[in-house]
């Protein structure tokens, strides 16, 4: 690949300076601009190999600039930069034909690598993506790298009706992703139908999916459309697909292959055009190996896979999510939204959240009702949050281990509003270890120091500091 010419447009001079230095260091020729009008004027006489543009700038914003560039130079790759890392920004960028989307703050090496990929793409004369997205926005929030990957996939699939498999723990927001895939797709105006396999009795699943004819079984007094017919032209979301019985899996595979099915008790085929989005918290590969899930159906569904990270792996998103959920709960209840004390935000980011985003959302609803003041303090948080294993707590240890007991003490102290826990705990820890070591050595200080891994002078000093002489 030949070294390329890069243009950078950003109203932030520090961003321009950093990128110019980094790109020049990679052997690329870089020119910077302060606003979109300067770029358009320069494009009248020459064209770069790639353009990096901020999304929010005075006057012409990055998306407006992108739109004009795509009209004049449709093959020029444009990378959109933004500090507002949300789904709408990602989809909007792809909607206007962006090559890629770079959330701030970014790793400079990753930014240079992305620019080099864009240059290679341009120099090979490949047609860039030009994604058009329809439908309303969603409440998906995420600045964590794993969530940015999810946003990119949604953007890149926005012109497709391809099958998608979403996997992630319970409460991570799999149905929200399914809704986003539907809303940002050509099927957005058609129905979105959801069915949870785990919530339907086994003997009713076929009727729910495929409908039934009148008289097909006792109680079938009328013809009933199944979820496939209801979703015709749109999207059928099959949640907890791993719980689908094997015989129903066989029928589903046939529908996906033929685009038609028979109602229960029916003889005439029903043709449908449905996009399938499936989700599960289970390991489908393992279920295939165990003979509990059809391998051919797995491969049919697993065309594109989206992995949703648990909340503990995207802790940087917790404060923003919590503020959002507090605002939503306040609107639902018709009250003023609660505010999070900075120490409360910090405490929330350190919790385990085994129930993931759903648990955080429910906690914010609880706080909206139960927190005494307008500002949520640590002591306002429900006690069960601290009883669950914190991310760094030794949950694998027995409940009577010293580490577990220490974690429980720290949880109680934090809930009571204590600060400077280390200055309180460390002397007690040292005093306990010293007392125990001296008891084991019958008061022999040099031997006690050896057991503790200290020198004799250190032990003598510690005894004096702790008032144990």
18-45 in b/e burial notation, b at 16+ Cβ within 10 A?
bbbebbeebebebbbbbbbeebbeebee
Among 202-216, 249-263, 367-381, name the most confident range.
249-263
Domain range 401-464, CATH architecture: Orthogonal Bundle (1.10)
Cβ distance 108 to 15 under 8 Å? no
Q: How confident is the model at residue 132 (pLDDT cuts 50, 70, 90)?
A: very low
Percent of the chain beyond pLDDT 70? 88
Burial of 54 (0-12, 13-18, 19+ CB in 10 A): buried
**Largest Cα–Cα distance of the chain, in whole Å?**
94
Give how far Cα 437 sits from Cα of 149, 456, 458, Å.
Answer: 53, 13, 14
- Comparing 188-202, 207-221, 253-267, the range with the smallest average pLDDT is 207-221
Domain range 159-305, CATH architecture: 3-Layer(aba) Sandwich (3.40)
Per-residue pLDDT, 225 = 86
Q: Tell me whether domains 3-135 and 159-305 share a fold.
A: yes
Per-residue pLDDT, 10 = 92
For 446-454, what is the mean pLDDT? 85
Q: How confident is the model at residue 388 (pLDDT cuts 50, 70, 90)?
A: low
Q: Does residue 91 register a pLDDT over 70?
A: yes
Query: Which is more confident, 216 or 310?
Result: 310
Q: Which of 115, 100, 123 is nearest to 27 (CA)?
A: 115
Q: Which of 171, 104, 177, 94 is nearest to 140 (CA)?
A: 177
- In the CATH scheme, what is the code of domain 317-386? 1.10.8.60
- Please give the mean pLDDT across all residues of the chain: 84
Per-residue pLDDT, 446 = 84
pTM of the predicted model as reported, rounded to 2 decimal places: 0.60
For 133-156, what is the mean pLDDT? 73
- Delimit the domains of the chain by residue range: 3-135, 159-305, 317-386, 401-464
**Structure confidence by residue, pLDDT tens digits, 278-304:** 999 999 999 999 999 999 999 999 999
Is 3-135 assigned to CATH 3.40.50.2300?
yes
**Structure confidence by residue, pLDDT tens digits, 198-223:** 888 888 888 889 888 887 777 777 88
């Amino acid at each position: 690949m030949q070294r390329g010419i890069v243009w950078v447009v950003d109203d932030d001079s520090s961003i321009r300076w950093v990128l110019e230095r980094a790109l020049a260091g990679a052997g690329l020729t870089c020119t910077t601009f302060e606003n979109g009008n300067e770029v358009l004027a320069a494009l009248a006489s020459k064209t770069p190999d790639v353009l990096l543009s901020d999304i929010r700038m005075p006057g012409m914003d990055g998306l407006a600039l992108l739109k004009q560039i795509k009209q004049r130079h449709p093959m020029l790759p444009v990378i959109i930069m933004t500090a507002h890392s949300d789904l709408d920004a990602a989809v909007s960028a792809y909607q206007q034909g962006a090559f890629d989307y770079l959330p701030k703050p970014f790793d400079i090496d990753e930014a240079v690598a992305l620019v080099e990929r864009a240059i290679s793409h341009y120099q090979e004369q490949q047609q860039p993506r030009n994604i058009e997205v329809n439908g309303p926005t969603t409440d998906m929030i995420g600045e964590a790298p794993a969530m940015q990957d999810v946003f990119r996939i949604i953007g890149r699939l926005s012109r497709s009706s391809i099958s998608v498999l979403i996997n992630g723990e319970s409460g991570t927001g799999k149905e929200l992703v399914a809704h986003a895939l539907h809303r940002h797709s050509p099927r957005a105006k058609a129905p979105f139908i959801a069915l949870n396999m785990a919530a339907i009795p086994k003997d009713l699943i076929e009727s729910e999916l495929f409908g039934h004819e009148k008289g097909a079984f006792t109680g079938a007094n009328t013809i009933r459309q199944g979820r496939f017919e209801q979703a015709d032209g749109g999207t059928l979301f099959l949640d907890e697909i791993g719980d689908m019985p094997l015989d129903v899996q066989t029928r589903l595979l046939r529908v996906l292959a033929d685009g038609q099915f028979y109602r229960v008790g029916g003889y005439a085929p029903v043709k449908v055009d449905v996009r399938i989005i499936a989700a599960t918290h289970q390991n489908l590969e393992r279920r295939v190996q165990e003979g509990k899930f059809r391998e051919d159906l797995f491969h049919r569904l697993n065309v594109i896979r989206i992995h949703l990270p648990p909340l503990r792996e995207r802790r940087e998103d917790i404060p923003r999510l919590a503020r959002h959920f507090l605002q939503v709960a306040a609107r639902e209840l018709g009250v003023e939204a609660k505010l999070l004390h900075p120490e409360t935000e910090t405490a929330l980011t350190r919790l385990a959240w085994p129930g993931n985003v759903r648990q955080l959302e429910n906690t914010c609803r609880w706080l909206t009702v139960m927190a005494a003041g307008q500002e949520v303090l640590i002591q306002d948080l429900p006690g069960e949050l601290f009883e669950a294993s914190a991310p760094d707590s030794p949950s694998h240890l027995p409940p009577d281990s010293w580490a577990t007991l220490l974690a429980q003490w720290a949880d109680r102290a934090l809930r009571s509003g204590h600060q400077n826990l280390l200055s309180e705990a460390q002397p007690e820890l040292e005093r306990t270890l010293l007392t125990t070591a001296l008891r084991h050595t019958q008061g022999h200080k040099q031997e006690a120091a050896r057991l503790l891994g200290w020198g004799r002078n250190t032990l003598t000093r510690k005894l004096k500091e702790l008032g144990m002489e």
